[in-house]
Structure 1
């Protein structure tokens, strides 16, 4: 019985570590997706506005007000 208890504790600890790592990876993946979505939302309107200003300039050869 002196050998079994440390082996059981080792097994439990390894399972805990695997579960914790899986949880951490999941959180990082969620955070990365959220960050990408926020970045895309943040840059999209500015890019669109710049395109509209460039198109207006091409048509009129004057900067929009």
Structure 2
């Protein structure tokens, strides 16, 4: 009988952790979306950024 309770408790904990992770991911996505809306990139940001650092390839040799 204690094994059944242990199994049920483990499943409950697993499901609860999955739900908390899901909520944290949703909250993070919302936060990023709101931040993007509040702080749009200016055109001058693009002009001052090096093309190589944008592409992630580094400087040519």
Q: The TM-score by the shorter chain falls in which range?
A: 0.5 to 0.7
Unaligned runs of 5+ in 1: 52-65
Q: How many residues are paired up?
A: 44
More helix by proportion, 1 or 2? 1
Unaligned runs of 5+ in 2: 45-61
Runs of at least 4 residues off by over 3 Å: none
RMSD of Structure 2 on Structure 1 (CA): 1.4
Q: Which has the higher contact order (CA 8 A, sep 6+)?
A: 1
- TM-score, normalization by structure 1: 0.63
- TM-score, normalization by structure 2: 0.67
2:25 is matched with which residue?
29
Greater radius of gyration (CA): 1
